[in-house]
Amino acid sequence: MTSVLEVRNLSIAFGGLRAVDDVSFAAQRHRITTVIGPNGAGKSTLFNLISGALMPQAGQVIVDGVDMTDAAPERRQAAGLSRSFQITNLFFELTVAENIRLAAQILEPASRRFLPLRASTRARAKTDEMLERFELTHRRDELAGHLSHGDQRRLEIAVCLASEPKLLLLDEPTQGMSHGDTANTAALVRSLTDDVTVLLIEHDIALVMDLSDHVIVMHQGRNLADGTPQAVRANPAVQAAYFGQA
């Protein structure tokens, strides 16, 4: 099994607070790796370090074998990394299809990227594929801002996938969703591993246990435990630090 992401001894402190403290792990290709931990454990900061929104004070971020530690977010994207945010990150005043097509435009050869829409054949085909796969075809001409919360979160994942990334970082994709929407999103995330490697932050423990191949437990900036859902759940240190509070 090969890893698409390798994080080695990653650290960042804000003042005296070690938000991410010597964290190492690998995300295996076509698997779902989930980062869990109490509020303030350092999960979002870890995602910021991986996506390039923050630069680490120590350690390395390797994407598909290439050291991306010093790379800007755009270079990481070009290397196949895509990220969704805890707070919905769509163009609300554009339609559902337009949101996807903007992301898919990167699939066009550079010489065609700024040609009129009708010439963007790959981007248009990818948009139709994503709309169908995410069951949004009937909403394609609606403004993204008019969708339900659940549909917006789904559209956000479709936007992330439209650029055909290797590694998808999803920050709480089910946050604020109804029970039904959560179950649908879980099924969707599971289906994504045919195409991509998924790194997830998720608070819903039942979902984490059901969905993940590999779980990383963060606590006070450190990697407290790392393993299969079953192994992590049985770990006494994890039970004391995390499940005891759940």
Ligand X SMILES: Nc1ncnc2c1ncn2[C@@H]1O[C@H](COP(=O)(O)OP(=O)(O)OP(=O)(O)O)[C@@H](O)[C@H]1O
Contacting residues toward ligand X, per CB under 6 A: 14, 17, 19, 37, 39-45
Nearer to ligand X, 126 or 219 (CB): 219
Minimum CB distance to ligand X, residue 44 (Å): 3
Nearer to ligand X, 19 or 123 (CB): 19
93, with CB counted inside 10 A (0-12, 13-18, 19+), is exposed
Nearer to ligand X, 40 or 73 (CB): 40
Dist. CA 84–CA 97, nearest whole Å: 18
Nearer to ligand X, 88 or 95 (CB): 88
Minimum CB distance to ligand X, residue 40 (Å): 4
Minimum CB distance to ligand X, residue 161 (Å): 23
Minimum CB distance to ligand X, residue 14 (Å): 3
Dist. CA 107–CA 230, nearest whole Å: 39
Minimum CB distance to ligand X, residue 199 (Å): 13
- The 10 Å CB-count burial string (b at 16+, else e) for 67-92 is ebbebeeeebbebbbbbbbeebebee
Taken in order 67, 51, 187, 33, the sign of the CA dihedral is: positive
- The 10 Å CB-count burial string (b at 16+, else e) for 141-173 is eebbeebeebbbbbbbbbbbbbbebbbbbbbbb
Nearer to ligand X, 34 or 44 (CB): 44
